[in-house]
Structure 1
Amino acid sequence: MLNISDNKTKLPSLNQYETVKNLGNRPHYKILNRIIAGVSIIGVIALFLPWTQNVSGTGAVTTLKPNQRPQSIQSVISGRIEKWYVQEGDFVKKGDTILFISEIKEDYMDPNLVENTKNQMNAKKQSLQSYGSKVNTLGAQIQAIETEKTLKLEQARNKIKQSFLKIKSDSMDLVAVKTQLKIANTQYNRSLQLNKEGLKPLTDTEDKRLKLQEVEAKIITQENKYLTSKNEFINAKVEINRITAEYSEKVSKANSDKFTAMSSQYDTDAQVNKLENQYANYSIRNGMYYIKAAQSGYINRALQSGIGETIKEGTPIATIMPSNYDIAVETFVNPIDLPLISKGEKVRVWFDGWPTIVFSGWPDMSYGTFGGKVVAIENFISENGKYRVLIAPDSSEAKWPKQLSIGSGAQTIALLHNVPIWFEIWRTLNGFPPNYYKTATKTTKEKK
């Protein structure tokens, strides 16, 4: 009101009415006040009650080991479906036949492919042995040539020694003939002088002259022998070079043939290995026409149907659930809660469809929860924006229900520190993470 008029009339007081006077004297208002006061006191006391901090997560039932999880049976080779040996829901043992397929690739349609490949492999092995024998023969031939070369060189060296000794002998004979020529010439001159003086007859002089001519002829012959010996010595040296060149050529040719045989041997060896590989592959491929179960379990679903359909390599044919498995739970936690989770930590788990009463802050008062233990924590974030944690049953608590099925839903609570309720409310309102700080343990050194 702007209070601009002069009207100063006062409103009547409500206390003049009897009903208003009796409002404060009604007894149920006192009871209500007491109830409010009592609830307030209880609420304040409840704020100091202990509360177990926890990290909650949702997930599903799975298996502890990867080889125990549902998996698909795949075909290693391509083929055409010819016959089914199982149906959905059947229990199969490891090695039981699931499906039979036939060949569709033209490279493997020969019914005698394995036998023909084996015959080719055996023929190549015999060829390999022949090349090996040829290499050994050429090696022995080279050794024989080297031995013959050594003997020929030794023979030529001996001939050189003989030629050298013959040169010495002929040179000595030549010197002797020259000496005889000198003596014969002296005797002839002396005889001629004595004949002139009348002391020697003419016949004696003619004999000396004849002997001188014989010695002169003999020295020519001896010089020819000496020169012939020199030529033989030179020829002996040339013979050594010829023998060395001849046998080097023979050894080189034999080595060339040997290396050619060795090259063919190695090439044949590679072909044998290739054929052995093909033979092994073909033999193994023949056993892949029957697709068998990798482990015992139940056939959940046939992914391929009908007869005559073609499938490629790696095509899933059916899914199998192993009969023996260790149950576990995979749960997902928020990134802010990941540092609070550690391997070996205790976790409470409850499952969908199982009667449960859960008090997250008072786990001892919960019903229908089961104990678990963290066995693995994934360090890479999942597609749903959370981190995956694998939980196994806690052997120190009650066993998990046998009726659980793989893939059913589950919820988890990881238990942390005990704090007052008022602290938990204050933390939640402020958006702070739970208290995960560890108290430092003091270590004392032992006294000597």
Structure 2
Amino acid sequence: MELKSYDKIYHIHRKSRVKRWFFFILIGGIITLFLPWTQNIKVKGNVSSLYQSQRPQQLNSPIPGRIIKWNVKNGDYVKKGDTLLQLSEIKDDYLDPMLVQRTEEQVEAKKGVRDYYEAKVGTAKNQLLALNAARDLKLNQVKIKISQLNNKLVGEEAELAATTNELKLSEDQFARQKKMYDDGLVSLTQFQQRSISYQNAIAKKTATENKVAQTRQEILNTQIEQNAVTQDYNEKLSKIEGERFQSLGNIEGSDGDIAKLQNQVANYKARQGLYFIIASQDGQVVQLNKAGIGEVLKDGENIGTIVPTTVDYAVEIYIKPVDLPLVKEGQRVMCIFDGFPAIVFSGWPDSSYGTFAGQVIALENNISPNGLFKALVIEDKNEKRWPPKIKMGTGVQGIAILNDVPIWYELWRNINGFPPDYYEVATAKSTKDEKAK
């Protein structure tokens, strides 16, 4: 009886193909060692925005107040300028409903005071002009009087000289008449007549001298009066000038008070505009942390967050310090977004599925709190577009593409613990420099 199990178990009579398979695998392995392998660095990060204005913005209360009306709820989409909620005042200094109007009335009152002082300055200026004119007139009168007295003095001095000459002549005649009388040549009557003429000449000279002295005294008194007039008018002018400067100072003070009150009016009006919290940009309102009506907000307190609807997405990746020299601006990075399926071949990025190409545009020189260096990656417009459904904060795994090397070199590098080859990115600037050379 022939046993079929024997033929199935024992293959001693069959031809073996192990050797063929061994050489086939060996040759395939050797060929594989010479296949290209793309060196890379694996990094992690998250989705962010290229511009600060497109990142989620906090909604803060600009002033302390009480919530009196909500216009939105969590998840609502709003347009820029839409009113989100309305506040009412809680500070005693701003409770007056007529606060702006009353402050404007204070401004008008201060302007009236300033106008009064300006009118007073104008009046003082007119007074100064009038006093200066009166002083000049008075001084001219005094000068004319002094001139008249000087002329009078000249005439009286001339008269004094004439009386002096006349007295000398009378004195000579009296002396000759006395001698003739003593000699008996003339009568006593003639001698007495000559004596009377001599006494009259003496009296006339004395009277003339008195007139000259009186005129000189009048001149001196008039000069003193001139000085007194100057002093008197200077005092009056100084007093009015002081009042004018005081009014000017009050005008400046009023201008300062007016500016201060106008500033308060502007602040009050601006504060009234802050009772309505509006959306700073188009987006979705999320994370509202205040509920109901009547809750009190502090100055600058966070109310919620608004997430922009239009965002230029970017990826923030974090690089180890040891790998930092291998990453440059313009370097290609393959991104794998959380929630999007991907099949990744580390050494063959072009053969991977579910990866999206990006480009490094910035590297921070300062280390982050997590001990890594941050780089910013944007979408590569020349390759497959990033998925439109990604959201801010989505986790990202990145593969920074380095040099293409054979597989045997990569195995040898890893066995010896060597770092990847240093990678230089050919930028537009360097290309231009090479062409110039």
In 2, the alpha carbon distance for the partners of 1:258 and 1:429 equals: 97
| 2:327–2:423 Cα contact (<8 Å) kept | no
- Give the AA of the match of 1:329: V
What secondary structure sits across from 2:365 in the alignment?
coil
What secondary structure sits across from 1:111 in the alignment?
coil
**Against the structure 1 CA distance between its residues 417 and 220, is the aligned structure 2 distance closer, same or farther, given a 3 Å change threshold?**
same
In 1, the alpha carbon distance for the partners of 2:107 and 2:171 equals: 94
In 1, the alpha carbon distance for the partners of 2:133 and 2:39 equals: 97
What secondary structure sits across from 2:87 in the alignment?
strand
Match of 2:120 among 125, 129, 134: 134
How much has 1:121 moved relative to structure 2? 1.2
Match of 1:46 among 19, 29, 32: 32
- Give the AA of the match of 1:421: I
How much has 1:223 moved relative to structure 2? 1.0
Residue equivalent to 2:254: 268
**Where do residues 73-84 of structure 1 align in structure 2 (5 Å cutoff)?**
73-84=59-70
How much has 1:195 moved relative to structure 2? 5.6
Structure 1 window deviating more from structure 2 (243-252 vs 95-104): it is: 243-252
What secondary structure sits across from 1:52 in the alignment?
strand
How much has 1:369 moved relative to structure 2? 1.9
Match of 1:249 among 232, 235, 241: 235
With structure 1 as the length reference, what TM-score do the two structures score? Answer: 0.85
**Against the structure 1 CA distance between its residues 289 and 183, is the aligned structure 2 distance closer, same or farther, given a 3 Å change threshold?**
same
Match of 2:378 among 369, 389, 392: 392
- Give the AA of the match of 1:215: A
Residue equivalent to 1:323: 309
- Give the AA of the match of 1:223: E
In 1, the alpha carbon distance for the partners of 2:167 and 2:14 equals: 185
Residue equivalent to 2:319: 333
Match of 1:240 among 187, 212, 226: 226
In 2, the alpha carbon distance for the partners of 1:80 and 1:375 equals: 45
In 2, the alpha carbon distance for the partners of 1:444 and 1:399 equals: 32
**Against the structure 1 CA distance between its residues 255 and 32, is the aligned structure 2 distance closer, same or farther, given a 3 Å change threshold?**
farther
How much has 1:186 moved relative to structure 2? 2.1
- Give the AA of the match of 1:273: A
How much has 1:288 moved relative to structure 2? 1.4
**Where do residues 288-367 of structure 1 align in structure 2 (5 Å cutoff)?**
288-367=274-353
In 2, the alpha carbon distance for the partners of 1:281 and 1:412 equals: 51
**Against the structure 1 CA distance between its residues 201 and 424, is the aligned structure 2 distance closer, same or farther, given a 3 Å change threshold?**
farther
What secondary structure sits across from 2:240 in the alignment?
helix
In 1, the alpha carbon distance for the partners of 2:274 and 2:30 equals: 75
How much has 1:238 moved relative to structure 2? 2.2
Match of 1:101 among 76, 87, 90: 87
With structure 2 as the length reference, what TM-score do the two structures score? Answer: 0.87
In 2, the alpha carbon distance for the partners of 1:249 and 1:355 equals: 100
What secondary structure sits across from 1:284 in the alignment?
helix
How much has 1:255 moved relative to structure 2? 2.5
In 2, the alpha carbon distance for the partners of 1:291 and 1:43 equals: 69
| 1:332–1:388 Cα contact (<8 Å) kept | yes
In 2, the alpha carbon distance for the partners of 1:445 and 1:414 equals: 30
Alignment of 1:184 with 2:170, yes or no, is: yes
What secondary structure sits across from 2:388 in the alignment?
coil
**Against the structure 1 CA distance between its residues 420 and 26, is the aligned structure 2 distance closer, same or farther, given a 3 Å change threshold?**
farther
In 2, the alpha carbon distance for the partners of 1:215 and 1:160 equals: 30
Residue equivalent to 1:144: 130
| 2:403–2:423 Cα contact (<8 Å) kept | no
How much has 1:197 moved relative to structure 2? 6.4
| 1:174–1:219 Cα contact (<8 Å) kept | yes
**Against the structure 1 CA distance between its residues 142 and 37, is the aligned structure 2 distance closer, same or farther, given a 3 Å change threshold?**
farther
In 1, the alpha carbon distance for the partners of 2:39 and 2:146 equals: 112
How much has 1:42 moved relative to structure 2? 3.5
Residue equivalent to 1:114: 100
How much has 1:327 moved relative to structure 2? 1.5
How much has 1:127 moved relative to structure 2? 1.0
Residue equivalent to 1:15: none
- Give the AA of the match of 1:266: E
Alignment of 1:170 with 2:156, yes or no, is: yes
Alignment of 1:208 with 2:194, yes or no, is: yes
In 1, the alpha carbon distance for the partners of 2:417 and 2:56 equals: 40
How much has 1:423 moved relative to structure 2? 3.0
**Where do residues 419-434 of structure 1 align in structure 2 (5 Å cutoff)?**
419-434=405-420
- Give the AA of the match of 1:318: G
Unaligned runs of 5+ residues in structure 1 are: 1-24
What value does the CA root-mean-square deviation take over the aligned residues?
Answer: 2.9
Unaligned runs of 5+ residues in structure 2 are: 1-11
What secondary structure sits across from 2:366 in the alignment?
coil
**Against the structure 1 CA distance between its residues 201 and 145, is the aligned structure 2 distance closer, same or farther, given a 3 Å change threshold?**
same
**Against the structure 1 CA distance between its residues 207 and 427, is the aligned structure 2 distance closer, same or farther, given a 3 Å change threshold?**
farther
| 1:303–1:319 Cα contact (<8 Å) kept | no
| 2:167–2:201 Cα contact (<8 Å) kept | yes
Alignment of 1:369 with 2:355, yes or no, is: yes
In 1, the alpha carbon distance for the partners of 2:238 and 2:87 equals: 59
In 1, the alpha carbon distance for the partners of 2:399 and 2:136 equals: 95
**Against the structure 1 CA distance between its residues 300 and 197, is the aligned structure 2 distance closer, same or farther, given a 3 Å change threshold?**
same
In 2, the alpha carbon distance for the partners of 1:301 and 1:386 equals: 30
Structure 1 window deviating more from structure 2 (207-216 vs 38-47): it is: 38-47
What secondary structure sits across from 1:272 in the alignment?
helix
What secondary structure sits across from 1:137 in the alignment?
helix
What secondary structure sits across from 2:287 in the alignment?
strand
How much has 1:275 moved relative to structure 2? 0.8
How much has 1:260 moved relative to structure 2? 2.1
- Give the AA of the match of 2:251: Q
In 1, the alpha carbon distance for the partners of 2:279 and 2:62 equals: 13
| 2:326–2:423 Cα contact (<8 Å) kept | no
Alignment identity in percent?
A: 43
In 2, the alpha carbon distance for the partners of 1:39 and 1:163 equals: 147
Match of 2:78 among 92, 112, 115: 92
Structure 1 window deviating more from structure 2 (299-308 vs 197-206): it is: 197-206
- Give the AA of the match of 1:249: E
In 1, the alpha carbon distance for the partners of 2:321 and 2:13 equals: 57
